[in-house]
Amino acid sequence: MSATFLGMPGNFPENSALAVQDSQLRYNLRKATHTIRGKRAGVVGELPDWEQLRAAGKAIKDETLRHLDRYLLQLEEAVTRAGGTVHWARDAGEANRIVTGLVKATGETEVVKVKSMATQEIGLNEALAEQGVTAYETDLAELIVQLGDDFPSHILVPAIHRNRAEIREIFLDRMGDAPPGLTDEPAALAEAARLHLRERFLRSKVAISGANFMVAETGTLVVLESEGNGRMCLTLPETLISVVGIEKLLPSWRDLEVFLQLLPRSSTGERMNPYTSMWTGSVEGQAFHLVLLDNGRTGVLADEVGRQALRCIRCSACLNVCPVYERVGGHAYGSVYPGPIGAILTPQLRGMSSALDASLPYASSLCGACFEVCPVAIDIPEVLVDLRAKAPHGPAERAGMRVAGWILNDHVRLAKAQRLAGRLRKLVPRRLPGPLSAWTDTRDLPEIPAESFRDWWERDERA
């Protein structure tokens, strides 16, 4: 994975400061996230056993992660037995080499794609382009993003930052076969996209997909989508290449039943997904390749606190309730994984060597709304706090923490420090100087009371 996504030059505070100045962006985000949030609440409220389903999803994912090595080998055996070919990719570079090699072996120079966050994570489209292969996105929102030379800003709705008028302008400007009288009505925009994509579906010989789930027991892959483009990509081409993160496993076919209830309700606010496609190995007339992607996932698995991020089923529920994401959107996170889940997953996958990645654990108010809606009960605030402790800290901050620890470790020292602060409170500036100014740039310095609670209590007791 590259050091940054979208070429973001700074850290999250700098990116978000620019984003909040865009009133149109804030309006688009608020309208979309509140709509999805309301639909989700309605369909989740219909199920009396929602919390039991949530607990079951968590338990299944934890069981899979505990025995991931065994289930991956079982999956490989099942896929191979069904006529497919399994490839193992340790990182983005290896995955890109495998996929580009498979595509070039067919002699084709273009591919169609089902929306896949794993391929965005590794920069597959760019890698293919370097080898003379053009990748065409077929998901409507991904098509909008691609035509607009833009980047996804939401897990479920990549073009959530665009409104209908903006989409119409993109289509008229960049879609060569868009009707000249195109309006911004959703039906008209969808029809224009359908006609544009139909020709690509019919002529493309190679397709690239991701997968929402993989069933180790049978070697079955599962894609959930809303438009039918996935069905076209999975069935028409002569070669199908699926790039999937190793954490997308489920042990058995029966486990899938739990997630087919959790995912649609949490993502689109629907009881059932419009299109659920499943395939096992190769079918007549089609070659199937499965690329199992690590790219940092085994490192995340080794972290006792952080590994719960690998439970994620990419539903985006956490984004839709996050007060931070609602105001700044996905681009500020500088990653294909935005929002609360991105704030814990990206630093673990990429490391925190860059200013951007080191800032992501702080891209949260720790309100806990993300944990409340997560269908697999990922305690995102817990992981955020853990990552903050692991993030690189400047010399001034480290020195300040050592001094604070020394004072707080002894009640006598603490009492003396409180009395001294009370006497000098009028000399404390509202904005701290030097390296300490970063703290007061984003928060108000609390008022220092004239008398500490300890002194007040002792005086009150004596009285």
Element (H, E) at 353: none
Q: Could you give the 3-state DSSP secondary structure of residue 462?
A: helix
Beta-carbon contacts of residue 136 (< 8 Å; ≥ 6 apart): 110, 111, 112, 113, 146, 197, 200, 204
- What is the model's pLDDT at position 401? 87
Q: Is the dihedral of CA 374, 376, 380, 381 positive or negative?
A: positive
pLDDT by residue for the chain (463 residues), tens digit each?
A: 343 454 455 799 999 999 999 999 999 999 999 999 999 999 999 999 999 999 999 999 999 999 999 999 999 999 999 999 999 999 999 999 999 999 999 999 999 999 899 999 999 999 999 999 999 999 999 999 999 999 899 999 899 999 999 999 999 999 989 998 999 999 999 999 999 999 899 999 999 999 999 999 999 999 999 888 889 999 999 999 999 999 999 999 999 999 999 999 999 999 998 999 999 999 889 999 999 999 999 999 999 999 999 999 999 999 999 999 999 999 999 999 999 999 999 999 999 999 999 999 999 999 999 999 999 999 999 999 999 999 988 888 888 889 999 999 999 999 999 999 888 888 888 888 887 787 788 788 888 898 888 888 888 877 6
- Asked whether the beta carbons of 324 and 30 are under 8 A apart, the reply is no
- What is the model's pLDDT at position 6? 45
- What is the model's pLDDT at position 463? 62
Cβ-in-10-Å burial (0-12, 13-18, 19+) of 285 comes to exposed
The first and second tokens of residue 261, run together, are 């209830």
- What is the model's pLDDT at position 430? 80
Rg (CA), the chain: 25
- Asked whether the beta carbons of 159 and 141 are under 8 A apart, the reply is yes
Type of residue at 152? P
Beta-carbon contacts of residue 320 (< 8 Å; ≥ 6 apart): 33, 36, 37, 40, 373
Q: Look at the chain and count its residues.
A: 463
- Asked whether the beta carbons of 400 and 435 are under 8 A apart, the reply is no
- Asked whether the beta carbons of 199 and 176 are under 8 A apart, the reply is no
Residue entry with tokens 């539903």: 315
CA distance 206 to 287: 10
Helix, strand, coil % in the chain, rounded to nearest 5: 55, 10, 35
CA distance 301 to 303: 5
- What is the model's pLDDT at position 429? 84
- What is the model's pLDDT at position 433? 83
- Asked whether the beta carbons of 25 and 252 are under 8 A apart, the reply is no
Q: How far is CA 307 from CA 110, 320, 378, 437, 450, in A?
A: 37, 23, 10, 34, 46
Beta-carbon contacts of residue 306 (< 8 Å; ≥ 6 apart): 300, 344, 348, 383, 386, 387
- What is the model's pLDDT at position 396? 80
The first and second tokens of residue 15, run together, are 């990116």
- What is the model's pLDDT at position 50? 97
C-alpha dihedral (322, 325, 330, 335), degrees to nearest 10: -70
For the stretch 424-435, pLDDT in tens is 888 888 888 887
What residues pair up with 245 in beta bridges, in sequence order? 293
The pTM of this model reads 0.90
For the stretch 244-261, pLDDT in tens is 999 999 999 999 999 999
Characterise 140 by phi-psi region: left (phi > 0), alpha (psi -120 to 50), beta (else): alpha
Nearest to 328 by CA among 20, 30, 72: 20
Q: How far is CA 41 from the centre of its chain?
A: 21
- What is the model's pLDDT at position 457? 87
- What is the model's pLDDT at position 5? 53
